[in-house]
Copies of this chain bind each other. A is one copy, B any other.
């Protein structure tokens, strides 16, 4: 029997709501991955990705698999066995980076920060001083598990000053806050499609600096993944009009990404960031009106992903179930050490809209009242509305 999914409002850590323009792009006729019309289309995707990443990097393309594969593409292409990598961890995804490093036969030097805080630049500088031969400094710009933004520009600068490559996770960042690959001087950056780009999951945009590309081209050993080997992938995604078959591109999901990037380009990067900030502000005052607290310090907050403390006495899983069953609304649970302690409320891409903010606040307020919290109904949405009216 055909599957007909329920229609949800997606306000977790991703996937976020898919713009209807993108859904309908997915259903367009499939064409061959070597069709001349597809080759032109690929060139457009590259240009649109360069705009989103704010880069002129030639090696900019979507990896044909989800964000985790984008992460792996960055590590396996840059690393060879025996290399040293300084990995900053302030959430789940720094830990996943460590896993990737180890599986490349390389050594991970971990710099730990408390989950929910930004990466401490002094600690990183100390690690660099202690391990001057490290090849790569890897960190998460926008931590999906905590909603924290770290100072990517400063971290890339530390790496560059030490002659190291910088490797940056901005799966949750791209489109929601500034990602300035060239201005940062970042060497390898990956993202995802199902967060602030509002596209479906399944692709991972990546970009490599000229310096990183040179490292990849002059390796001593082959990249351990054939599928992710950029030396081969570039034969298909490269600038030449003659494209060599590598693997079959995920044609229709790429239609979706193209539409998503077109929408971002139409709106403009700055306008998109401003929209994410405004809806965050409205959500924030609404949450605060209910006495709920945001976990992350104001200066480190990602507007698109809000970590909220669970009030005493609230059954958090039951509340999420109520939101899902009664309101068709998904918010995220805590991950790793934050499981059971926080909710993650996403306002990413097409989900970053006043309608979603109001739905979430009203549903949360009602559900907290139903669990016994003494709140005045309607106050949260009114607080948010005041932000929009200002």
Interface set of A (CB-CB < 8 Å, partner B): 1-8, 10, 12, 14-15, 17-18, 21, 23-33, 35-38, 41, 44, 64-69, 71-72, 96, 99-100, 102-104, 192, 194, 200-202, 222-227, 245-253, 255-256, 258-259, 262, 324, 330, 335
A253: contacting residue among B28, B200, B227, CB under 8 A: B200
Closest B residue to A255 using CB positions: B3
Residues of B close to A28: CB separation below 8 A: 3-5, 23
CB-based contact B3/A31 at 8 Å? no
Given contacts A2-B21, A262-B2, whether A251 and B200 have CB atoms under 8 Å apart is yes
Q: Are B248 and A15 in contact (CB under 8 A)?
A: yes
Measured between alpha carbons, how far is A100 from B232 in the docked complex, in Å? 13
Complex-state Cα separation, A3 to B17, whole angstroms: 21
Q: Complex: how many Å from CA A341 to CA B250?
A: 28
Question: Smallest CB–CB gap between A104 and chain B, Å?
Answer: 8
Residues on B with C-beta less than 8 A from A64 are 65-66, 69, 202
Task: Report the bound CA distance from A227 to B227 in whole Å.
Answer: 12
Q: Kindly identify which residue among B27, B37, B226, B248 contacts A201, using a CB–CB cutoff of 8 Å.
A: B248
Also in contact, A32 and B3, with CB within 8 A (given A23-B27, A225-B103): no
A324 and B27 in contact, given A226-B68, A248-B192 (Cβ under 8 angstroms): no
Residues of B within 8 A of A96 (CB): 226
Nearest Cβ on chain B to A260's Cβ, whole angstroms: 11
A194 close to B3 (CB less than 8 A):
no
Contacts A30-B18, A30-B200 given; does A25 touch B3 at CB 8 Å: yes
Give every chain B residue within 8 A of A103 (Cβ-Cβ).
Answer: 222-226
From B27, B67, B256, A247 is in contact (CB under 8 Å) with B67
Tell me whether A8 and B32 are in contact (CB under 8 A).
Answer: yes
- Rounded to whole angstroms, the CA-CA distance of A301 and B29 in the bound complex is 29
B250–A200 CB distance below 8 A: yes
- 14 extra A-B contacts, CB within 8 A, seeds A8-B30, A18-B252, A31-B330: A2-B21, A3-B41, A7-B29, A15-B32, A26-B26, A32-B330, A35-B330, A36-B324, A68-B226, A69-B69, A69-B227, A100-B226, A103-B224, A201-B249
